[in-house]
Protein backbone atom coordinates (compact mmCIF):
# COMPACT_ATOMS: atom_id res chain seq x y z
CA UNK A 1 0.00 0.00 0.00
CA UNK A 2 3.08 2.22 0.21
CA UNK A 3 1.80 4.17 3.16
CA UNK A 4 -1.15 5.53 1.24
CA UNK A 5 -4.31 5.85 3.34
CA UNK A 6 -6.83 3.13 2.80
CA UNK A 7 -9.57 4.23 0.39
CA UNK A 8 -13.03 4.51 1.91
CA UNK A 9 -15.20 1.40 1.86
CA UNK A 10 -17.56 1.69 -1.13
CA UNK A 11 -21.15 2.58 -0.37
CA UNK A 12 -22.16 -0.75 -1.88
CA UNK A 13 -20.12 -2.63 0.70
CA UNK A 14 -21.22 -0.40 3.55
CA UNK A 15 -24.85 -1.12 2.59
CA UNK A 16 -24.07 -4.80 2.38
CA UNK A 17 -22.57 -4.75 5.89
CA UNK A 18 -25.65 -2.92 7.18
CA UNK A 19 -27.96 -5.56 5.71
CA UNK A 20 -26.07 -8.38 7.45
CA UNK A 21 -28.32 -10.03 10.07
CA UNK A 22 -26.92 -10.79 13.55
CA UNK A 23 -25.86 -14.32 14.60
CA UNK A 24 -26.15 -15.87 11.16
CA UNK A 25 -23.82 -16.85 8.37
CA UNK A 26 -22.78 -13.98 6.13
CA UNK A 27 -24.80 -12.69 3.19
CA UNK A 28 -23.75 -14.52 0.04
CA UNK A 29 -21.84 -11.59 -1.46
CA UNK A 30 -19.29 -11.74 1.37
CA UNK A 31 -18.28 -15.21 0.25
CA UNK A 32 -18.20 -14.77 -3.51
CA UNK A 33 -17.96 -11.16 -4.63
CA UNK A 34 -14.82 -9.70 -6.26
CA UNK A 35 -15.23 -6.30 -4.62
CA UNK A 36 -15.56 -7.88 -1.18
CA UNK A 37 -12.43 -9.91 -1.93
CA UNK A 38 -10.46 -6.78 -2.79
CA UNK A 39 -11.75 -5.09 0.37
CA UNK A 40 -10.72 -8.17 2.38
CA UNK A 41 -7.22 -7.91 0.89
CA UNK A 42 -6.97 -4.22 1.73
CA UNK A 43 -8.59 -4.27 5.16
CA UNK A 44 -7.70 -7.67 6.59
CA UNK A 45 -4.79 -9.20 4.70
CA UNK A 46 -2.81 -6.01 4.12
CA UNK A 47 -3.35 -4.59 7.61
CA UNK A 48 -2.97 -7.40 10.16
CA UNK A 49 -0.19 -9.85 11.02
CA UNK A 50 0.21 -12.87 8.78
CA UNK A 51 2.05 -16.07 9.50
CA UNK A 52 4.71 -16.29 6.78
CA UNK A 53 7.10 -19.14 7.64
CA UNK A 54 8.81 -21.05 10.43
CA UNK A 55 12.14 -19.74 11.71
CA UNK A 56 13.68 -23.13 10.92
CA UNK A 57 12.89 -22.69 7.22
CA UNK A 58 15.50 -19.94 7.15
CA UNK A 59 18.03 -21.11 9.67
CA UNK A 60 21.24 -19.68 8.15
CA UNK A 61 22.15 -16.20 6.93
CA UNK A 62 21.07 -15.95 3.28
CA UNK A 63 18.28 -18.53 3.54
CA UNK A 64 15.01 -17.28 2.11
CA UNK A 65 11.42 -18.29 1.44
CA UNK A 66 8.92 -16.61 -0.86
CA UNK A 67 5.14 -16.39 -0.65
CA UNK A 68 2.28 -14.51 -2.32
CA UNK A 69 -0.45 -12.64 -0.48
CA UNK A 70 -3.08 -12.00 -3.15
CA UNK A 71 -0.99 -10.55 -6.00
CA UNK A 72 1.81 -9.39 -3.71
CA UNK A 73 4.99 -11.46 -4.07
CA UNK A 74 7.00 -11.39 -0.85
CA UNK A 75 10.28 -12.76 0.44
CA UNK A 76 11.57 -13.46 3.93
CA UNK A 77 15.38 -13.56 4.30
CA UNK A 78 17.71 -14.31 7.19
CA UNK A 79 20.35 -11.57 7.46
CA UNK A 80 24.04 -11.73 8.32
CA UNK A 81 23.09 -10.48 11.79
CA UNK A 82 20.75 -13.40 12.34
CA UNK A 83 17.61 -11.28 12.03
CA UNK A 84 14.86 -12.31 9.63
CA UNK A 85 13.56 -9.55 7.35
CA UNK A 86 10.70 -9.43 4.88
CA UNK A 87 10.50 -7.48 1.63
CA UNK A 88 8.25 -7.10 -1.34
CA UNK A 89 9.83 -9.49 -3.83
CA UNK A 90 9.83 -6.81 -6.53
CA UNK A 91 12.97 -5.30 -8.06
CA UNK A 92 13.00 -1.53 -7.90
CA UNK A 93 14.47 -1.37 -11.41
CA UNK A 94 12.05 -3.02 -13.82
CA UNK A 95 9.75 -4.73 -11.33
CA UNK A 96 10.77 -8.34 -11.86
CA UNK A 97 10.44 -10.71 -8.95
CA UNK A 98 13.91 -11.10 -7.50
CA UNK A 99 13.82 -14.47 -5.71
CA UNK A 100 12.28 -16.84 -8.22
CA UNK A 101 12.00 -20.07 -6.23
CA UNK A 102 9.84 -21.05 -3.20
CA UNK A 103 12.94 -21.23 -1.01
CA UNK A 104 16.69 -21.16 -1.38
CA UNK A 105 19.99 -19.78 -0.20
CA UNK A 106 21.59 -16.48 -1.21
CA UNK A 107 25.13 -15.29 -0.86
CA UNK A 108 25.74 -11.87 0.67
CA UNK A 109 23.45 -10.20 -1.82
CA UNK A 110 19.95 -10.49 -3.19
CA UNK A 111 20.56 -10.25 -6.93
CA UNK A 112 17.78 -9.65 -9.45
CA UNK A 113 18.24 -12.12 -12.29
CA UNK A 114 17.06 -9.60 -14.92
CA UNK A 115 19.83 -6.92 -14.81
CA UNK A 116 21.76 -7.83 -11.68
CA UNK A 117 20.59 -5.05 -9.43
CA UNK A 118 22.05 -6.25 -6.12
CA UNK A 119 20.60 -5.63 -2.68
CA UNK A 120 22.15 -6.28 0.72
CA UNK A 121 20.32 -8.79 2.84
CA UNK A 122 18.79 -5.83 4.69
CA UNK A 123 17.22 -4.66 1.43
CA UNK A 124 19.49 -1.68 0.62
CA UNK A 125 20.43 -1.32 -3.03
CA UNK A 126 24.17 -2.06 -3.09
CA UNK A 127 25.00 -2.23 -6.78
CA UNK A 128 23.31 -1.32 -10.04
CA UNK A 129 25.91 -1.74 -12.76
CA UNK A 130 25.08 -0.09 -16.05
CA UNK A 131 22.97 2.62 -14.49
CA UNK A 132 23.69 6.34 -14.58
CA UNK A 133 25.99 7.83 -11.93
CA UNK A 134 23.32 10.01 -10.33
CA UNK A 135 21.01 7.12 -9.52
CA UNK A 136 19.51 7.73 -6.05
CA UNK A 137 20.41 4.32 -4.67
CA UNK A 138 19.28 5.18 -1.17
CA UNK A 139 15.68 5.57 -2.44
CA UNK A 140 15.75 2.28 -4.31
CA UNK A 141 15.96 -0.41 -1.65
CA UNK A 142 13.53 -3.27 -1.63
CA UNK A 143 10.19 -2.18 -0.15
CA UNK A 144 10.29 -3.47 3.44
CA UNK A 145 7.58 -5.46 5.16
CA UNK A 146 7.18 -5.52 8.95
CA UNK A 147 8.27 -8.73 10.64
CA UNK A 148 8.14 -10.32 14.08
CA UNK A 149 9.72 -13.59 15.00
CA UNK A 150 8.14 -15.35 17.95
CA UNK A 151 9.40 -18.68 19.30
CA UNK A 152 10.00 -20.18 15.87
CA UNK A 153 7.14 -18.51 14.01
CA UNK A 154 7.61 -15.61 11.61
CA UNK A 155 4.79 -13.12 11.25
CA UNK A 156 4.73 -10.25 8.76
CA UNK A 157 2.52 -7.25 8.14
CA UNK A 158 2.04 -5.41 4.87
CA UNK A 159 0.58 -2.42 6.69
CA UNK A 160 2.39 0.89 6.73
CA UNK A 161 1.68 1.07 10.48
CA UNK A 162 0.74 -2.39 11.70
CA UNK A 163 -1.11 -2.96 14.95
CA UNK A 164 1.25 -3.78 17.85
CA UNK A 165 2.51 -7.36 17.82
CA UNK A 166 3.54 -7.37 21.48
CA UNK A 167 0.24 -8.48 23.00
CA UNK A 168 0.27 -11.50 20.68
CA UNK A 169 3.88 -12.25 21.50
CA UNK A 170 3.21 -12.00 25.23
CA UNK A 171 0.29 -14.44 24.99
CA UNK A 172 1.72 -16.91 22.51
CA UNK A 173 5.38 -16.95 23.53
CA UNK A 174 5.02 -18.90 26.78
CA UNK A 175 2.61 -21.37 25.18
CA UNK A 176 4.92 -21.92 22.20
CA UNK A 177 8.25 -22.04 23.97
CA UNK A 178 8.22 -25.61 25.37
CA UNK A 179 7.33 -27.00 21.91
CA UNK A 180 10.78 -25.94 20.66
CA UNK A 181 9.71 -24.87 17.17
CA UNK A 182 12.91 -22.80 17.01
CA UNK A 183 14.91 -25.99 16.80
CA UNK A 184 12.43 -27.92 14.65
CA UNK A 185 12.60 -29.09 11.06
CA UNK A 186 9.92 -29.19 8.38
CA UNK A 187 9.45 -32.88 7.60
CA UNK A 188 6.78 -32.45 4.95
CA UNK A 189 4.72 -29.79 3.18
CA UNK A 190 1.41 -30.32 1.36
CA UNK A 191 -0.14 -27.54 -0.71
CA UNK A 192 -3.84 -27.26 -1.46
CA UNK A 193 -5.85 -25.02 -3.76
CA UNK A 194 -9.25 -24.99 -2.10
CA UNK A 195 -12.27 -23.65 -4.02
CA UNK A 196 -13.69 -21.73 -1.08
CA UNK A 197 -13.50 -18.21 0.29
CA UNK A 198 -10.97 -17.88 3.14
CA UNK A 199 -13.74 -16.99 5.61
CA UNK A 200 -15.46 -20.32 5.01
CA UNK A 201 -12.22 -22.05 5.95
CA UNK A 202 -12.18 -20.14 9.23
CA UNK A 203 -15.83 -20.81 9.96
CA UNK A 204 -15.08 -24.47 9.56
CA UNK A 205 -12.09 -24.16 11.87
CA UNK A 206 -13.99 -22.30 14.56
CA UNK A 207 -16.39 -25.10 15.52
CA UNK A 208 -16.20 -28.83 16.09
CA UNK A 209 -19.94 -29.29 15.64
CA UNK A 210 -19.10 -30.99 12.35
CA UNK A 211 -16.43 -33.28 13.83
CA UNK A 212 -18.36 -36.35 14.87
CA UNK A 213 -19.72 -37.05 11.42
CA UNK A 214 -16.79 -35.75 9.40
CA UNK A 215 -13.59 -36.46 11.36
CA UNK A 216 -13.77 -39.99 12.79
CA UNK A 217 -10.03 -40.04 13.59
CA UNK A 218 -10.01 -36.58 15.17
CA UNK A 219 -12.78 -37.20 17.68
CA UNK A 220 -11.06 -40.32 18.96
CA UNK A 221 -8.20 -38.14 20.22
CA UNK A 222 -9.91 -34.92 21.28
CA UNK A 223 -12.69 -33.39 23.37
CA UNK A 224 -13.38 -30.42 21.09
CA UNK A 225 -16.68 -31.78 19.81
CA UNK A 226 -18.09 -31.66 23.33
CA UNK A 227 -19.31 -28.40 24.71
CA UNK A 228 -19.18 -27.85 28.47
CA UNK A 229 -22.80 -26.75 28.49
CA UNK A 230 -24.34 -29.62 26.56
CA UNK A 231 -22.49 -32.81 27.44
CA UNK A 232 -23.76 -35.65 29.63
CA UNK A 233 -22.78 -35.52 33.27
CA UNK A 234 -20.54 -38.58 32.89
CA UNK A 235 -18.46 -37.03 30.10
CA UNK A 236 -18.41 -33.74 31.91
CA UNK A 237 -16.95 -35.38 34.97
CA UNK A 238 -14.39 -37.16 32.87
CA UNK A 239 -13.33 -33.89 31.23
CA UNK A 240 -13.07 -32.08 34.54
CA UNK A 241 -10.91 -34.86 35.95
CA UNK A 242 -8.66 -34.89 32.88
CA UNK A 243 -8.14 -31.16 33.10
CA UNK A 244 -7.43 -31.26 36.78
CA UNK A 245 -4.83 -33.99 36.48
CA UNK A 246 -3.21 -32.31 33.48
CA UNK A 247 -3.11 -28.92 35.16
CA UNK A 248 -1.36 -30.36 38.19
CA UNK A 249 1.20 -32.25 36.17
CA UNK A 250 1.93 -29.50 33.65
CA UNK A 251 2.24 -26.84 36.36
CA UNK A 252 4.76 -29.07 38.12
CA UNK A 253 6.95 -29.35 35.04
CA UNK A 254 6.60 -25.71 34.02
CA UNK A 255 4.47 -26.06 30.87
CA UNK A 256 2.47 -22.92 31.59
CA UNK A 257 -1.19 -22.70 32.50
CA UNK A 258 -3.49 -24.62 30.25
CA UNK A 259 -7.05 -23.41 29.79
CA UNK A 260 -9.38 -24.96 32.29
CA UNK A 261 -11.84 -26.00 29.56
CA UNK A 262 -11.15 -28.99 27.34
CA UNK A 263 -13.66 -27.95 24.71
CA UNK A 264 -13.09 -25.36 22.01
CA UNK A 265 -11.12 -22.33 23.14
CA UNK A 266 -13.31 -19.21 22.91
CA UNK A 267 -11.73 -17.36 20.00
CA UNK A 268 -11.61 -14.74 18.55
CA UNK A 269 -12.84 -11.83 20.60
CA UNK A 270 -14.54 -9.49 18.15
CA UNK A 271 -15.13 -6.66 20.57
CA UNK A 272 -11.51 -6.45 21.79
CA UNK A 273 -10.07 -7.44 18.44
CA UNK A 274 -8.22 -10.41 19.91
CA UNK A 275 -6.86 -12.12 16.81
CA UNK A 276 -4.48 -14.57 18.56
CA UNK A 277 -4.83 -17.36 21.12
CA UNK A 278 -2.79 -20.21 22.48
CA UNK A 279 -3.49 -22.95 24.98
CA UNK A 280 -2.62 -26.47 26.03
CA UNK A 281 -5.34 -29.06 26.20
CA UNK A 282 -5.45 -32.74 27.22
CA UNK A 283 -5.87 -35.53 24.70
CA UNK A 284 -8.20 -38.36 25.63
CA UNK A 285 -7.02 -41.04 28.00
CA UNK A 286 -4.33 -43.19 26.42
CA UNK A 287 -3.40 -40.76 23.62
CA UNK A 288 -0.06 -38.95 23.62
CA UNK A 289 -0.02 -37.74 20.03
CA UNK A 290 -2.48 -36.70 17.31
CA UNK A 291 -1.70 -39.85 15.33
CA UNK A 292 -4.06 -42.52 14.05
CA UNK A 293 -3.64 -44.73 17.13
CA UNK A 294 -2.57 -42.07 19.62
CA UNK A 295 0.93 -43.48 19.96
CA UNK A 296 4.07 -41.38 19.69
CA UNK A 297 5.24 -41.03 16.07
CA UNK A 298 8.59 -39.26 16.52
CA UNK A 299 11.13 -38.30 19.17
CA UNK A 300 10.09 -35.74 21.77
CA UNK A 301 10.28 -32.09 20.75
CA UNK A 302 11.39 -29.06 22.69
CA UNK A 303 11.49 -29.11 26.46
CA UNK A 304 9.03 -31.91 27.00
CA UNK A 305 9.92 -34.17 29.95
CA UNK A 306 7.73 -37.04 28.73
CA UNK A 307 4.97 -37.57 26.15
CA UNK A 308 2.07 -36.72 28.46
CA UNK A 309 1.73 -33.06 27.46
CA UNK A 310 -1.60 -33.06 25.60
CA UNK A 311 -1.59 -30.72 22.62
CA UNK A 312 -0.35 -27.21 22.28
CA UNK A 313 -2.61 -25.10 20.07
CA UNK A 314 -2.05 -21.68 18.65
CA UNK A 315 -4.06 -19.77 16.09
CA UNK A 316 -3.86 -16.23 14.66
CA UNK A 317 -6.26 -14.48 12.33
CA UNK A 318 -6.42 -14.30 9.39
CA UNK A 319 -4.15 -17.14 8.35
CA UNK A 320 -2.62 -19.53 10.85
CA UNK A 321 -3.17 -22.41 13.23
CA UNK A 322 -0.93 -25.05 14.72
CA UNK A 323 -1.67 -28.23 16.69
CA UNK A 324 1.42 -29.74 18.26
CA UNK A 325 1.79 -32.98 20.15
CA UNK A 326 4.78 -34.06 22.22
CA UNK A 327 6.54 -35.40 19.12
CA UNK A 328 5.39 -33.40 16.09
CA UNK A 329 3.54 -30.27 15.14
CA UNK A 330 1.25 -29.42 12.28
CA UNK A 331 0.95 -25.87 10.97
CA UNK A 332 -1.80 -24.71 8.61
CA UNK A 333 -1.22 -21.49 6.66
CA UNK A 334 -3.91 -19.82 4.56
CA UNK A 335 -3.27 -17.40 1.72
CA UNK A 336 -5.99 -15.70 -0.31
CA UNK A 337 -6.07 -16.85 -3.93
CA UNK A 338 -9.27 -15.13 -5.14
CA UNK A 339 -12.82 -14.51 -4.01
CA UNK A 340 -13.53 -18.23 -4.10
CA UNK A 341 -10.06 -19.70 -3.70
CA UNK A 342 -7.84 -20.23 -0.67
CA UNK A 343 -4.28 -21.50 -1.00
CA UNK A 344 -3.55 -23.68 1.99
CA UNK A 345 -0.23 -25.12 3.07
CA UNK A 346 0.05 -27.81 5.73
CA UNK A 347 3.47 -28.34 7.35
CA UNK A 348 4.54 -31.30 9.49
CA UNK A 349 7.32 -30.38 11.92
CA UNK A 350 9.63 -32.60 13.97
CA UNK A 351 12.62 -32.04 16.19
CA UNK A 352 15.62 -30.84 14.18
CA UNK A 353 17.57 -33.97 15.19
CA UNK A 354 14.88 -36.45 14.19
CA UNK A 355 15.83 -38.60 11.20
CA UNK A 356 13.23 -40.00 8.83
CA UNK A 357 13.14 -43.79 8.88
CA UNK A 358 14.92 -43.96 12.20
CA UNK A 359 12.93 -41.58 14.42
CA UNK A 360 9.74 -41.11 12.45
CA UNK A 361 7.86 -42.41 9.48
CA UNK A 362 5.72 -40.00 7.43
CA UNK A 363 3.26 -42.78 6.66
CA UNK A 364 2.47 -42.96 10.37
CA UNK A 365 2.77 -39.28 11.17
CA UNK A 366 0.76 -37.69 8.38
CA UNK A 367 -2.65 -39.39 8.12
CA UNK A 368 -4.24 -37.89 11.23
CA UNK A 369 -3.97 -34.29 10.06
CA UNK A 370 -3.92 -34.99 6.34
CA UNK A 371 -7.30 -36.70 6.62
CA UNK A 372 -8.71 -34.05 8.96
CA UNK A 373 -7.52 -31.26 6.68
CA UNK A 374 -8.74 -32.78 3.45
CA UNK A 375 -12.11 -33.62 4.99
CA UNK A 376 -12.41 -29.95 5.92
CA UNK A 377 -11.42 -28.69 2.45
CA UNK A 378 -14.17 -30.86 0.94
CA UNK A 379 -16.69 -29.42 3.40
CA UNK A 380 -15.62 -25.86 2.61
CA UNK A 381 -15.92 -26.42 -1.13
CA UNK A 382 -19.43 -27.80 -0.73
CA UNK A 383 -20.40 -24.77 1.33
CA UNK A 384 -18.98 -22.45 -1.34
CA UNK A 385 -21.17 -24.15 -3.96
CA UNK A 386 -24.21 -23.60 -1.78
CA UNK A 387 -23.60 -19.97 -0.80
CA UNK A 388 -23.16 -19.17 -4.52
CA UNK A 389 -26.83 -20.01 -5.02
CA UNK A 390 -29.32 -17.22 -5.72
CA UNK A 391 -31.55 -18.99 -3.19
CA UNK A 392 -29.00 -18.97 -0.37
CA UNK A 393 -29.98 -16.96 2.74
CA UNK A 394 -27.94 -16.55 5.92
CA UNK A 395 -28.70 -19.34 8.39
CA UNK A 396 -28.69 -19.36 12.19
CA UNK A 397 -25.68 -20.37 14.26
CA UNK A 398 -26.04 -22.78 17.15
CA UNK A 399 -25.65 -20.82 20.35
CA UNK A 400 -24.18 -23.98 21.91
CA UNK A 401 -21.73 -25.00 19.27
CA UNK A 402 -21.08 -22.14 16.90
CA UNK A 403 -20.43 -19.20 19.23
CA UNK A 404 -16.85 -19.02 17.96
CA UNK A 405 -18.02 -18.85 14.35
CA UNK A 406 -20.34 -16.04 15.33
CA UNK A 407 -17.41 -14.28 17.02
CA UNK A 408 -15.31 -14.74 13.91
CA UNK A 409 -18.01 -13.17 11.75
CA UNK A 410 -18.29 -10.22 14.10
CA UNK A 411 -14.50 -9.88 14.20
CA UNK A 412 -14.43 -9.91 10.40
CA UNK A 413 -17.19 -7.32 10.00
CA UNK A 414 -15.52 -5.15 12.60
CA UNK A 415 -12.25 -5.22 10.65
CA UNK A 416 -14.01 -4.61 7.34
CA UNK A 417 -16.13 -1.70 8.49
CA UNK A 418 -14.00 -0.56 11.43
CA UNK A 419 -10.88 0.01 9.40
CA UNK A 420 -13.03 2.16 7.17
CA UNK A 421 -14.05 4.13 10.23
CA UNK A 422 -10.40 4.41 11.21
CA UNK A 423 -9.70 5.80 7.77
CA UNK A 424 -12.23 8.55 8.37
CA UNK A 425 -15.34 6.96 6.87
CA UNK A 426 -18.55 7.11 8.89
User: What is the binding site for its own copies (CB under 8 A)?
Assistant: 1-2, 25, 28, 46, 70-73, 88-98, 100, 113-116, 130-132, 135, 140, 143, 158, 203, 209-210, 213-214, 230, 379, 382-383, 385-393, 395-396, 398-401
Closest approach of its own copies to the CB of residue 386, in Å: 4
Closest approach of its own copies to the CB of residue 356, in Å: 33
Q: Which is nearer to its own copies, 131 or 352 (CB)?
A: 131
Q: Which is nearer to its own copies, 11 or 390 (CB)?
A: 390
Q: Which residue, among 203, 198, 194, 202, has the nearest Cα to 32 in the 3D structure?
A: 198
Q: Which is nearer to its own copies, 46 or 415 (CB)?
A: 46
Q: Which residue, among 231, 152, 159, 229, has the nearest Cα to 184 in the 3D structure?
A: 152
Burial bucket for residue 395 (CB in 10 Å: 0-12, 13-18, 19+): exposed
What DSSP character marks residue 55? G
Closest approach of its own copies to the CB of residue 20, in Å: 14
Q: Which is nearer to its own copies, 248 or 391 (CB)?
A: 391
Distance CA 34, CA 32 (A): 7
Q: Is the peptide bond before 268 cis (omega within 30 degrees of 0)?
A: yes
Q: Which is nearer to its own copies, 130 or 357 (CB)?
A: 130
- The secondary element (H helix, E strand) that includes residue 329 is strand 329-338
Cβ–Cβ under 8 Å, residues 316 and 296: no
Cα-based distances in Å from 314 to 35, 146, 174, 279: 31, 21, 11, 7
- Dihedral sign, CA of 201, 203, 207, 208? negative
Cα-based distances in Å from 215 to 210, 221, 257, 372: 8, 11, 28, 6
The alpha carbons of the chain give a radius of gyration, in whole angstroms, of 22
Closest approach of its own copies to the CB of residue 390, in Å: 6
Closest approach of its own copies to the CB of residue 323, in Å: 21
Closest approach of its own copies to the CB of residue 328, in Å: 29
Closest approach of its own copies to the CB of residue 313, in Å: 22
Distance CA 185, CA 3 (A): 36
Q: Which is nearer to its own copies, 365 or 387 (CB)?
A: 387
Q: Which is nearer to its own copies, 212 or 251 (CB)?
A: 212
Amino acid sequence: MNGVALPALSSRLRDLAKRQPAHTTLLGEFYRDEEVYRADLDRIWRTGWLFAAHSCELAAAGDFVTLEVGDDPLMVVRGEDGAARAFHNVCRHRGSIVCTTPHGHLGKRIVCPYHQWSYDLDGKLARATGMQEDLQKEDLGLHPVHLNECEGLIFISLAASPPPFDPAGAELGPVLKPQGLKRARVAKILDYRVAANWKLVWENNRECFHCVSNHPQYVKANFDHYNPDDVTPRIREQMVAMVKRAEAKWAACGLGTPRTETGLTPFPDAEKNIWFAGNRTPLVEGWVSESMDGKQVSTLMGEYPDPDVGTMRVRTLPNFWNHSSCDHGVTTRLLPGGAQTTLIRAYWLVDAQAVEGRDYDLVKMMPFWQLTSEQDWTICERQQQGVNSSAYLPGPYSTYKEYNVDSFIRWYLGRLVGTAAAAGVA
